[in-house]
Amino acid sequence: MEEVLQKSFVAGLERLVARAELLDSINVFPVADGDTGRNLSISLIPLRNIDQPKEKIIHRLLLSARGNSGNIASQFFSSFCAAEDIVDLAQRAKEGTVKAWKALNNPRPGTMLSVFDALMDVLPPDFNPDQQTVENIISRLEKSVHETHEQLPRLKEAGVVDAGALGMYIFFEGFFNTLADIPDACRPVMETFKDRLKISSSFQENSASGYCVDFVVSAPRYSADEMKTITSAQEEVIIIPEGDLYKIHLHTKDKEQVRLQITGLGKVLNWEDDNLAAQIEAFRNCGTGALHIMTDAAGSLTVQDAKYYGFTLLNSYLTIGEKCLPETYFHPEELYQAMTNGVKASTSQASVYERHQFYESVLERFEKVLYLCVGSVFTGNYETAIQWKKEHDKDNRLLVIDTGAASGRLGTMALATVRYLAETNSMEKTFAFAKKAVQECEEYVFLDKLQYLAAGGRLSKTSAFFGDMLKMKPVVSPQPEGAKKVGVVRNQKDQVKMALEKLAASLQKKSRALIMLEYSDNRKWVEGTFKPIVAGRYPDTEIILQPLSLTSGAHMGPGTWAVAFLPYEKSETGG
């Protein structure tokens, strides 16, 4: 594949990933479960490694596809990404469009299928990516997205365009402008679709139950038609065959019955499910405002937290074996089980372009944004944001604080700041609150083994060997100068003793504070043993239980746990 094509696929993907939150916020079709942005990001992430053999990319698209939108998109891109050069794109677009339509039992216009149709019609066989041709393509795709509002009654009732169609437009705008060497020509999405990106206050989503399920099964004894018969009692069914494998998406009332039925057909290679009722409830609770908080997923906060409280998370990437995703898209147990089994795990930063796209995305949607950035000693995120701000933020709408923190210390101050903004609706007061929180928030991380720090190059393997042999367990605290070693203990009993001593040094029995307890693969112990001890000593504090950020988990390993805490006055609870 030509290098410019590779670069264009990555640019389109990164532009899409940065706007996943926007897509989730308008996702009402086929149900308002608010996951189109997430599903498209997960499904198309194999395009990030588009330089690999196309057969490998196509297979990974099959395995990674999630949800209606992701499965349809993966079928289109399994053809489109096979283009070897620019002149091959038109034919590949036609093939991909046919595959996308065939993937559905009940395909409907007014979805991303309409965008694929428009691309197939407008992309000339002798395509040359000059500026005028690219502008014509993007204009036609834009029109197809606007038309979805009228094509599906549900979208018209909600007052929005289709989220999947918009996601494809965002991808192709980045893709074609990069192909034409005019990447800065992309228009703000809110400017292009300004009156169709906010759900009408009169729109009501009916309650739903059941599960959205995606799985891959190896079933060599069954045909595609037999699979259709077997799944005919379910809804929103998509069946994609690849040799002996079948990738199946469906909505069901009883996921365990489906799992049992499918297990009887062959070996299940991959299984993901989402609770539709929980997703719809979270979607209803999503709020918007003029002021907004953004932070890094390196703080121990989840996508669910971001949806509930209404803030933005910027991901790093986590690689487990050959699987690479934004860190919040992994299940924690997948990381720790892999590490226990000796599978290599590593982290990496999003590209500078992707981070720039996130800054643009939040400023398209909100008047003012406060970015609580992971400590500059840990990543280059702070420097990247400041440099972008100098070049693009003449009105000072993006405020950036170098927190000097990571993991629970970052998460605790970010969560308290989000709550404080909700109380005061004042960015000036919230900025001052956050600066104070940076000074007062503490965290202590208790590691079980040193071998994972050594594997990541943060400790010599000799030191790790002797430390583990002597059963020495280090205690570290993320500080502006880095992860500072603050002690060494011999066992879990000593870990608990030290944690309680650190809490007692900063909190009185009647103190009001936010305490975050973080777990890796040891939630049962943290929740059942340590949390009651803390609750008994500090009855007036709020204690929350959070998974350790997977950025931290990948470096510190199974058995790690932590305590972070922020004391505050009654008038500054943020809650």
| Long-range contacts from 244-247, C-beta under 8 angstroms, 24+ separation | 244/218, 244/219, 244/220, 245/62, 245/216, 245/217, 245/218, 245/219, 245/269, 246/216, 246/217, 246/219, 246/222, 247/62, 247/63, 247/65, 247/71, 247/214, 247/215, 247/216
pTM, to two decimals: 0.89
pLDDT in tens, 343-399: 999 999 999 999 999 999 999 999 999 999 999 999 999 999 999 999 999 999 999
| Amino acid (one-letter) located at 256 | E
pLDDT in tens, 448-480: 987 676 454 444 344 444 444 446 788 999 888
| pLDDT grade for 153, boundaries at 50, 70 and 90 | very high
Judged against a pLDDT cut of 90, whether residue 158 lies above it is answered with: yes
**Dihedral (CA of 134, 140, 142, 144) sign:** negative
The answer to whether the CB of 523 falls within 8 A of the CB of 468 is no
Q: Which pLDDT does position 60 carry in this prediction? A: 93
Judged against a pLDDT cut of 60, whether residue 188 lies above it is answered with: yes
489: left (phi over 0), alpha (psi -120 to 50) or beta: beta
d(CA 445, CA 447): 6
Q: Which domains does the chain have, with CATH numbers?
A: 3-196 (1.25.40.340), 211-276 (3.30.70.260), 282-439 (3.40.50.10170), 442-572 (3.30.1180.10)
* 414 Cβ neighbours under 8 A, 6+ residues apart: 293, 295, 299, 301, 311, 372
d(CA 119, CA 113): 10
pLDDT in tens, 337-355: 999 999 999 999 999 999 9
- Helices H, strands E: what count in the chain? 26, 17
The answer to whether the CB of 412 falls within 8 A of the CB of 441 is yes
Question: What are the two backbone dihedrals, phi and then psi, of residue 146, each rounded to the nearest 5 degrees?
Answer: -55, -40
CA atoms within 13 A on the CB side of 341: 9
Judged against a pLDDT cut of 60, whether residue 308 lies above it is answered with: yes
Residue with tokens 């395509």: 127
The answer to whether the CB of 381 falls within 8 A of the CB of 356 is no
Determine which of 71-75, 206-210, 256-260, 428-432 has the lowest per-residue pLDDT on average: 206-210
The answer to whether the CB of 69 falls within 8 A of the CB of 112 is yes
Taking the CA atoms of the chain, what radius of gyration do you get in angstroms?
24
What average pLDDT is seen over the chain?
Answer: 90
Judged against a pLDDT cut of 90, whether residue 264 lies above it is answered with: no
